[in-house]
Chains A and B, each alone.
Chain A
Amino acid sequence: MGYEEAERTWRAQAEELERLRPAQPWLRETEGGLPVKPVYGPHDHGASRSDDEFLERLGFPGAPPFTRGGYPTGHRHVLWQTQQIVGYGTAEETRERLQYILRQGQSGHRAAVLNVVFDQPTLNGLDSDHRLARGAVGKGGVAIDSLGDMATLIEPFDPRETFISLVVTGMGPIMFALYAQACVDRGVPLDRISGVMLNDPLTAYYGARTYILPPRPSLRLFGDFVGFCTERAPKWNTVGVSGYHAREAGATAAMELGFTIACGLAYVQECVDRGLDPNVFAARFSFFLEVGNDFFEEIAKLRAFRRVWAGELARRFGVTDPRALLMRCHVQTAGSSCTAQEPENNIVRTAIQALAAVLGGTNSLHTNAMDEALSIPSETSARIALRTQQIIACETGATRVADPLGGSYYVEAQTDAIEQEGRRYLAEIDGFGADIRDGVLAALDAGYFHELIREQAWQTQLLLESGERPVVGVNCFANDGAEVNIDLFRGDPAFERKQLERLRAWRAGRDGAAVEAALAGVRAATETSGNMIPLLMDAVKAGTTVGELVPVLREAWGTYDEPHPLALS
């Protein structure tokens, strides 16, 4: 029997089964809406590719286009970095939890791996005593107002042996100034510090929403920052372009790919226009992505992501250095997939998502704790979340082989499909402007990102409500009346009082004239094209707080107004 005849026979059998027992809609497409056939074969993708096609589309791990991962042996020799986010209360509470998580084995390429999240006042550039900060200080993240807070936070750690991730978007350059100055004050030169920030003002407008300034000044500050780091802090990863926040707000995996790569390319464009060399600075670009429940779609997405990024950098900007072409990413499991009902089930969801991230070749990983839908993690739930990664790393054998699913008919076909869908969004964004940066800015103005994400969130909600997208313990196999019986973390109102006291003491202990002079320096620099980063460092050194710096920038550059959500739907 020949191939075609065998295929015909299979098709007849499959169609008969479908006629007798029509498959649920969610079995016929991915979470992101890509169609899925019941079986894939050699004609669905390039198992029959020539060697040249193989090298162009897939290649070997550790070589462009990096579809199969960034390192020649995958995770066998270069394990992903475990990066559990930590942050609550004041710098003192947070550093205690950071030490706890390190004792539990959080590890990476340096002795201490710290991943710090900040409270909403800090993320929005407000001091803890701002009227809008009331009740929010130290909740969901650590409160950082000043250089003193940052110095306290990192006091137990040697910056030379630390990799620190600072989870800030619009506040990136200011938070870097605080960290960098705190290190310099301890005698650590900037070329010895290593870390990463989201520092991603563009996706902040439609994703994280923690924007500080309007888009164009944000890009200027971004360019300043990349220029500064390239010269002075070359081990600092300048950006973690975020798809995570858009996903949490409702975007599909393909939107995540298209939107995030568009924003990444806009940053490259900004830096190239300033005369910076993409072969150098792009090697310090990274991405912050989500991996949710749809196991194979997410694996395919990570593979496609690397291929598209490498391809676009080469095609648009002539990048040739493999270190710059490689898309490195930090993955966080999907907070929005965690349920408040039967929260222990989130341990299982998170483990499966973490495995997908590992099989997709992630470089770094945060696994959500089971109480994600209820509160910030307790010590116990944080430990289980870290253990989940350690079990995958040590017990499953998933780290033996680079790109273990490469060559799977389905995974390769899915990788191609998500690339195609993601490129469709990228092309639409390109269509908004003369170059990718103008395209992203014009798409933002037009509400393009907001509208697509909010509509998708609405459609997803309808699927959840109708039960067409099953969620165990919520809309199927639900245990009515089941009580949440895990111990939840409780913030202490004393944290806010303590932080307000720290802030008062800080203001009392500084030289007011020096603060005014530093702020005047920042104000003056906004009117020039000079690099702002040294001035921000001078300002925090003089004692200015984040809530004093941000208004100076806003006076010069304005603020951003979001499109109204109900006008769009």
Chain B
Amino acid sequence: MSTPVRILVGKAGLDKHDRGAIIVSRALRDAGFEVVYIGSGHTPEELARVAVEEDVAAVGLSLLSGAHLEIFRQLRAALDGLGADDIALFAGGTIPAEDVPSLEEVGVLRTYTPGTPLQTIVAGVRALLAPRDDG
């Protein structure tokens, strides 16, 4: 690809456990993506606006707060509201396996729970955005 695919990575809300988010950002960057790291302290609506402004292909959020379902539901709705229904979502963090189907229902295409190897995440995100690469 000529221009690198952009991905927004961050935390939602106030949760500042960012060790995982920063490591994943570094791995995605090393894999050739352009990572916009936004850290924590943003509402889903603000994240959606930044995602559109930065023209990213995907948003990945790491959540250790237990608020993953609400946050992603709001983020998906905010993105769709801005006409950005093509921006893909993926999740990481302390998310119980039984919540993964519910996350899928609200539009989270990949969920990476603790202990997932970085290669798995990089390959998964690449696959998620593959059609875009071809186009």
Contacts and interface: CB of A to CB of B under 8 A. Distances in A.
Interface of A: 120-121, 123-124, 126, 131-136, 139-140, 208-210, 248-250, 336, 339-341, 373-376, 454, 457-458, 461, 465, 471, 474, 483-484, 488, 491, 562, 564-566, 569
30 contacts: A132-B14, A133-B14, A134-B13, A135-B71, A136-B15, A136-B67, A139-B66, A140-B64, A140-B66, A209-B18, A249-B19, A340-B94, A341-B115, A373-B114, A375-B66, A457-B19, A457-B23, A458-B23, A458-B26, A461-B23, A465-B118, A465-B119, A484-B96, A488-B96, A562-B39, A564-B37, A565-B18, A565-B39, A566-B25, A566-B29
B114 A454 contact: no
Contacts of B25: 565-566
B123 to A, nearest CB: 13
Contacts of A461: 23, 118
B15 A374 contact: no
A454 B64 CA distance: 18
Interface string B15-27: 1111100110110
A208 B40 CA distance: 13
Contact of A134 (B70, B94, B114): B70
B35 interface: yes
Interface of B: 13-19, 22-23, 25-26, 29, 35, 37, 39, 41-43, 64-67, 70-71, 74, 94, 96-97, 113-115, 117-119
Given A132-B13, A208-B16, A373-B94, 9 more contacts: A132-B42, A134-B13, A134-B43, A135-B71, A139-B67, A210-B16, A340-B114, A374-B96, A566-B37
Contact of A376 (B23, B29, B66): B66
Nearest to A130: B14
A483 B26 contact: no
A209 B66 CA distance: 18
B97 A483 contact: yes
For B13, B14, B26, the residue with the greatest tally of chain A CB atoms inside 10 Å of its CB is B14
Contacts of B65: 120, 135-136, 139-140
B97 to A, nearest CB: 6
A550 to B, nearest CB: 13
A491 B70 CA distance: 13
Contact of B94 (A208, A209, A375, A491): A375
Contacts of B23: 457-458, 461
Contacts of B117: 465
Contacts of A248: 17, 19
Nearest to A123: B14
A112 B74 CA distance: 42
B72 to A, nearest CB: 10
Contacts of A340: 94, 113-115
A457 B22 CA distance: 9
Given A126-B14, A140-B66, A484-B97, A131 B43 contact: yes
Contacts of A121: 14
B119 A135 contact: no
Contacts of B66: 139-140, 375-376, 491
Contacts of A566: 22, 25-26, 29, 35, 37
B66 to A, nearest CB: 5
Nearest to A562: B39
B73 to A, nearest CB: 9
Contacts of A484: 96-97
Give the one of A136, A339, A471, A483 with max B CB within 10 A. Answer: A136
Contact of B22 (A375, A454, A471): A454
A136 B11 CA distance: 13
Contacts of A134: 13, 43, 70
Contacts of B26: 458, 566, 569
B70 A135 contact: yes
B41 A209 contact: no
A122 to B, nearest CB: 10
B52 to A, nearest CB: 19
Nearest to A336: B19
Contacts of B18: 209, 565
Nearest to B37: A566
Contacts of A249: 19
Contacts of B19: 248-250, 336, 457
Contacts of A465: 117-119
A209 B37 contact: no
A135 B13 contact: yes
A12 to B, nearest CB: 41
A376 B113 CA distance: 16
A124 B42 CA distance: 13
A124 B94 contact: no
Nearest to A126: B14
A219 B57 CA distance: 43
Contact of A132 (B37, B43, B118): B43
A339 B115 contact: yes
A317 to B, nearest CB: 33
A486 to B, nearest CB: 10
A249 B118 CA distance: 17
Nearest to B115: A474
Contacts of A471: 115
A134 B25 CA distance: 26
A133 B13 CA distance: 7
A565 B22 contact: yes
Which 9 A-B residue pairs are closest in the complex by CB-CB distance? A120-B14, A209-B16, A135-B67, A135-B70, A340-B114, A565-B22, A139-B66, A474-B115, A373-B114
A562 B43 CA distance: 19
A113 B29 CA distance: 47
